[in-house]
A and B are shown apart, each in its own frame.
Chain A
Amino acid sequence: MSDGTAGKNNRDFLKLNADSQLAELFSRRLIFVMGKGGVGKTTISTALAIAAERMGKRVLLAEIGDSDAIGQIFINDTLPEAPLKIADRIWGARVNPKTELALYVRHHINSKFFANRITRSRLFDYLVAAAPGLREIMSLGRIWRWTQEAGSAEPFAYDLIIVDAPATGHALSLLRLPRVLIEMIRFGPIVKEVRELESVLRDPARTWLTLVTLAEELPTNEALQLYQAADADLGMPFKMIFINAVYPRVFTKPELERINDLKSFCRGNDTDTSCLKLLEAADHLIRMRRRQQPYIDRIKSKTRGGGVEVPVYYTNHLSIGDIGDIASRMIRQMREQSEP
């Protein structure tokens, strides 16, 4: 970050226990951030990228397909397909499955002229649109090639790739895809690549899958289903769950009682409405937290390591500064959780 707080923040984060959850997370090559639409995947991906950057990592932040949310946050524009430097040690890129497929065909057809004719034909477009999972696998292929570059000695290689996964609602089918394709296609060059891709996805030393949800009924149900299925059916467990937009527990128990006393006092005295307004705002927070609590409890009891609560941010338009702030609070919270 170039806002002058980076130095202080860095010192702050270096104090992190080396085996804390976050340090562990950032020792991977690849982090997938998954979840249904509207739960805040982009916010979490970006916050993680900023946190990793502050811990000295070089990060590639990638989004897939039509989404351009990350680009809007950092450069107020759509990200290019080739990684672009968007912060001190963060690069951003948008994966375009069509480009990847054209590259793939070019790679496997010796004649450039021929390859171009094929990828430009309408029939090819139809078949690509119709072929199950082809777009997704091409996107995963691009990410896999980046992981091959990651950690190499090249000047622009990355320590860590964070993928803001598409909000398909079909995260499970995305994860299952390599398997399905291997079974369907069986032979040929693509199978070899898909196998390697799958081995990266399945290797917890290199890849962690993370999940974002909200403390509401449907997102929680869906997240827990996905969490269990990924582990039991696919053997690809989620390593971390982020519970986004959680209302913080601000008041202690005696303070809650005090707030209630104050309310009756203000009502009884019929004086300044300002006082009541303040207390109602406090009440609002308390009630919102109470509404979220059962879902937070469910997530914590049903997942290993519990969920990481990401505090609500009271605005509809998050700036990089806001997300940096969320990153700080996330780190603080994880540190508290990892302490006994």
Chain B
Amino acid sequence: MLNPIFDPDGPKIIVNCGSGGVGKTTLSAAMGLAGALAGKKTIVLTIDPAMRLADALGLSEFHADVQRVPLDKISSAAESSVGELYAMMLEPKRTFDELVTRYATPEISRKILNNRYYQHISNNMAGSNEYMAMEKLYETYHEGVYDLIVLDTPPTRRALDFLEAPQRLLNVLGHSFFWKLIKPYLKAGRWSLRMLNVMASPILRVVGQVIGRQALNDLIGFFQVWDEALYQGFNRRAEAVKALLGSDETLFFAIATPQRFPLQEAEFFWERLKANRMPFGGFIINRVHASIHDVPAPPIDQTAAQICPGAPVDSQLIEKILLNYRYIQRQAESDAASIRGLESRVAGLAGVKTIAAVEEEIIDLAGLLDLVGYLKE
């Protein structure tokens, strides 16, 4: 299932989706390392990385500029030629600002960047972070520098919103429909609510009451500039991003743990990818608690003497040990049941790869290499 990462003719883009806390960033880093070890020049684009992971990669911290991950320790030990590994942290606000600057004249860019409404949406608006992650991916792809790009998407359901409607973000920002409605109420050449005959539209009047006149003013000012200067450029761009992600240059993975919520989210992503005919690589289920061994469990009611013959153990301790064993088995069984459930729902239409829970945190490249080993298995 994960061969495409190692395959020299594999896709150039890997996109990892999943809810927060499932180890998505660490897995993305491991996939990146796997790609580099297969000789590819690889970059990992990540959001919200852990300090520990930066440490593990030998970086003092992640930032929004491309950084090279030192692989010399690994390269000297490797038999074949090792590629290069780079990492970059996504900063959606910065990407958004850069886009605005690209498409608008300096004067209009300034107007937009200073608009309070823009400042709000570029920082907080639902969907803008997710869209900007894809935007950065597209940009990086077109630089043509890397053989493999691994994108760690923001941990929200909305990560794929743009697939159903690349204009969704744009809809909110300045769809022509919206603009047609607002325009008649604006006097030509000026963009402020003072010029806007609010009384003419009961809808605008109510909106003004609800969100406040100042806010409405900012909003309309933003829409106007946006529509005039940026709409078309953004629209073309969003379509191009969607086309790239649907091509065979790309492969999506859904990452989860066996817990109910992350698993539901992963299936949700899969459904949406299917609905949009996006190339799906499979499910990666991380942190699966394996049954302690493949040997059958000892009967719980056995006494200490029977379980550890010849070793005197006090009964209180053996009771604790037995209880703990039962709990840990319970977790392993629950995990196995979750995965069986997933597999039956997926019904062979997609791969399911499990990765065992590890007891130690990954603190260095060696730990990440172990994870690469799991990916190869």
Chain A residues in contact with chain B, CB under 8 A? 36-39, 66, 69, 101, 104-105, 108-109, 114, 117-118, 121-124, 126-127, 129-132, 134, 167, 169-170, 173, 181, 184-191, 214, 216-219, 221, 250-251, 255, 258-259, 262, 265-266, 269, 271-275, 277-282, 284-285, 287-288, 291, 314-317
Contact = CB atoms under 8 A, between A and B. Distances in A.
Interface string B96-133: 00000000000000000000110011001100000000
B359 A284 contact: yes
Interface stretch (B46-54, B80-88, B269-277): B46-54
Given A279-B321, A281-B292, A127 B22 contact: no
Given A121-B203, A273-B295, A184 B214 contact: yes
B215 A184 contact: yes
A38 B206 contact: no
A218 B360 contact: no
Given A184-B214, A315-B334, A218 B359 contact: no
Contact of B172 (A130, A184, A188): A130
Contacts of A169: 20, 155-156
B100 to A, nearest CB: 17
B166 interface: no
Given A121-B203, A271-B309, A284-B359, A127 B51 contact: no
A277 B295 contact: yes
A84 B281 CA distance: 42
Contacts of B125: 132
Nearest to A288: B359
B264 to A, nearest CB: 9
Given A281-B325, A287-B359, A315 B330 contact: yes
A274 B309 CA distance: 11
B293 A273 contact: yes
B260 A277 contact: no
Interface of B: 19-22, 48, 50-52, 116-117, 120-121, 124-125, 155-157, 171-173, 175, 177-178, 181, 202-203, 206-207, 209-212, 214-215, 219, 258-263, 292-293, 295, 297-298, 302, 307-311, 313, 317, 320-322, 324-325, 327-331, 334-335, 337-338, 359-361
A134 B210 contact: yes
B202 A291 contact: no
Given A132-B125, A275-B309, A282-B320, 5 more contacts: A38-B155, A130-B173, A258-B313, A316-B334, A316-B338
A217 B51 CA distance: 8
Contacts of A266: 308, 311
A316 B260 contact: yes
A219 B21 CA distance: 8
Contact of B215 (A114, A132, A250): A132
B293 A277 contact: yes
Contact of B117 (A69, A132, A274): A132
B214 A185 contact: yes
A104 B210 contact: yes
Interface of A (DSSP majority class): helix
Of listed A101, A185, A219, A280, residue having the most chain B CB within 10 A: A185
B325 A278 contact: yes
Contacts of A281: 292, 321, 324-325, 328-329
A126 B178 contact: yes
A117 B214 CA distance: 24
7 contacts: A37-B21, A130-B121, A188-B212, A275-B308, A281-B292, A282-B320, A285-B324
A266 B203 CA distance: 79
A131 B259 contact: no
A123 B185 CA distance: 14
Contact of B295 (A255, A274, A285, A315): A274
A44 B295 CA distance: 36
Contact of B181 (A108, A123, A132, A317): A123
B89 to A, nearest CB: 14
Contacts of B211: 127, 131-132, 134, 184-185
